[in-house]
Amino acid sequence: MSSCHLPLNLPASTGSPPYVCCPPAATYEPRLFRPNSSSSPRMRRAAHSVDEAYAAKLAQAYALMKALPPDDPRSFIQQANIHCAYCNTVYNQMGSSELFQIHNTWLFFPFHRWYIYFHERILAKLLGEDGDDPAFFLSFWNYDHPDGASIPWLFSAAPASSSRPHYPVLSNASRDSSHDSATATVALDFNGGDTDCRRRSIQLRENDNTMYRVLIRDATTPESFFGWPYRQGDSPMEGYGFGTVEYCPHNTVHSWVGNKSAMGWRDMGAFFSSGLDPLFYAHHAQIDRLWELWKAMPNHEEIDDEDYKNAEFLFYNEEGELVRVRAGDASDASLLGYVYEEVETPWKDAIPEQRSFAPAELGDGDAICEVGKVMEAKPCSVRVERDPEVSRASPWLHDHLVLSIDYQSQMMVDVYLNLPAANATTDSGCKEFVTNIGHSHVASTPLDVKLDISERLVDLNLDISERLVDLNLTNESRIVVTLVPRIPLPYSSFQNLTILDAYIECALPFQRWDGAHTLF
């Protein structure tokens, strides 16, 4: 706490006073709080299906929180500032001069679980319920289900029907207004652009594909699900190191909700401001629920590493007392006293199909990506070499497709293996689809500068081992990679993007996006 300084990587706000998000200071050593709830658990319910009595209660709780004086650590602004503090690196790590940033690392899940845990306890307390009263709960934004795939009515500026009450205290003026309606379908693969033109049925299918990919297909190990290890002395992993869910749907939903015309895509689209939107806490209850869903699947284990388990965060609790909590103590949600309502998960059946059945060759009709040249606004393919013997001899290493890319401000590209015919309308629910890559946000630069040329270089390491197995390509020494550019808003055409290199290397099974700078 004593290291707290001004936030870094803020979108520039030239002319306005510095944005301070240090919490009120405490004069005592915080005790360690360890969860041990034994009362019957609160059930966090899907936001779209709560009743009006609950919505009114939630609105009342936020009204009380917003009415607290701004220096009360339980006030809404201080609650929002917690996010700025842990995300815009206002703290140094204990015993190190390195900055502390919990995103893009394995601390992403436990930090946010603790964050919304205290947030929920504070709201309950403000309603006059004591800590063991199971009546008050946070609701989750159930966007993985078709019925929950719009901003939930109670948080929306534009409620679904006039028969439903509207709660200004739960809505937020700094959202993308075209997305804040009951008819807009959330794009879990959003990257700022062309998903807005999709029909609802197509978007819902893409959402299922995304969910299947991030929770089942690509999240087979704790490392891939939780993200890159982050230990004392490591510098912040800006823009890489995230687990599957953190990248998508977590980051993408932040961007989808935020106002892309506002400074840094605020509120939901920027670290410093996202906690200012009450929808943030429903989004994070959903992310927290996805952790529970992942954990309930066979052979899925928590991270078992002392550096993970002993990492600590500071929070003010519902009494306004500063406490320390450990990341490892977040593993068991039942000790924190809540469970999630069980709802259908249709995406579990979105098992990808195989399109191509033989190793692809590049023929005369196929556009070849020219390495070192600006990419055209149409799909192109490149052939990369690998040594199947090396892969076989070192099963603990995975095949990584490394794409070294130079791009301007924004880029969005879908990556396929062994499918040179892929284009922008190809359904991503096929085995050939690797991932969508996109950087819609660039930290440290204000939106108006971001729209100018600011070149970025990124090395994407995409773990494709499982894809090679699925496509029966493990014995091949040449793999066809197809890149499908998509048009990011606010542009009307594809922006300059140059592939500098594309190759396969064997590496530990983590994804890395070195050199990328993203806010969300």
403 is a contact residue toward ligand C2O (CB under 6 A): no
To ligand C2O, the closest distance from the beta carbon of 254 in angstroms equals 6
Q: Is 83 one of the binding residues for ligand C2O (CB under 6 A)?
A: yes
- In whole angstroms, what is the distance from residue 155 CA to residue 179 CA? 12
Q: Out of 48, 103, 145, 439, pick the active-site residue.
A: 103
| Rounded Cα distance, 21 and 146, in Å | 37
- Examine the residue annotation and report whether 83 is marked as an active-site residue of this protein: yes
Q: Does residue 48 touch ligand C2O according to CB under 6 A?
A: no
- Residues 119, 254, 439, 517: which is the catalytic one? 254
Q: Which is nearer to ligand C2O, 103 or 175 (CB)?
A: 103
Residue 61 makes contact with ligand C2O by CB under 6 A: no
Among 22, 50, 82, 87, binds ligand C2O (CB under 6 A): 87
Pairing of strands 433-439, 42-44: unpaired
Helix (H, G, I), strand (E, B) or coil at 190: coil
Q: Is 254 in the site for ligand C2O (CB under 6 A)?
A: yes
Which CB atom, from 253 or from 442, has the smaller least distance to ligand C2O?
253
Strand ordering across the sheet containing 411-417: 380-385, 478-485, 411-417, 433-439
How many Å apart are CA 93 and CA 153, to the nearest integer?
A: 40
Site for ligand C2O in 370-399 (CB under 6 A): none
Q: How does DSSP assign 285-319, residue by residue?
A: HHHHHHHHHHHTSTT------HHHHT-EEEEE-TT
Return d(Cα 168, Cα 157) in angstroms, integer: 7
3-class state of residue 385 by DSSP: strand
Q: Which is nearer to ligand C2O, 83 or 175 (CB)?
A: 83
Instruction: Say what the alpha-carbon torsion angle 161, 166, 172, 176 is, to the nearest 10 degrees.
Output: 10
Q: With respect to ligand C2O, which residue has the nearer C-beta, 254 or 386?
A: 254
Catalytic annotation present for 439: no
Token representation of residue 370: 């020219």
Residues linked to residue 158 through DSSP beta bridges, in sequence order = none
Q: Which is nearer to ligand C2O, 83 or 439 (CB)?
A: 83
Nearest by Cα to 153 from 182, 174, 184, 178: 182
- The DSSP annotation for 150-178 comes to S--GGG-SS-S-TTS---GGG--SSB-TT
Is 48 annotated in the active site?
no
Count of beta carbons in the 10 Å neighbourhood of residue 206: 22
Compose the 265-294 pattern: x for residues touching ligand C2O by CB under 6 A, - for all others. ---------x---------x----------
Could you say which residues in the range 451-480 bind ligand C2O, by CB under 6 A? none
Q: Judged by CB under 6 A, how many residues of this single chain contact ligand C2O?
A: 8
- Residue in the structure block whose two tokens are 């840094």: 264
Amino acid at site 51:
D
Shortest Cβ 246–ligand C2O spacing (Å):
8
Q: What minimum distance in Å lies between the beta carbon of 288 and ligand C2O?
A: 11
Q: Hey, which residues between 135 and 164 contact ligand C2O (CB under 6 A)?
A: none
Nearest distance in Å: CB 449, ligand C2O: 24
Based on the residue annotation, tell me whether 441 is a catalytic residue of this protein: no
Smaller CB separation from ligand C2O, 112 or 400: 112
Which CB atom, from 228 or from 433, has the smaller least distance to ligand C2O? 228
Nearest approach, Cβ of residue 117 and ligand C2O (Å):
14
Is 254 designated active site? yes
250 binds ligand C2O (CB under 6 A): yes
User: How do 312-316 and 338-340 pair as beta strands?
Assistant: unpaired
Instruction: Confirm if 264 and 447 have CB atoms less than 8 A apart.
Output: yes
Which stretches of the chain bind ligand C2O, using CB under 6 A?
83, 87, 103, 112, 250, 254, 274, 284
Catalytic residues: 83, 103, 112, 250, 254, 271, 284
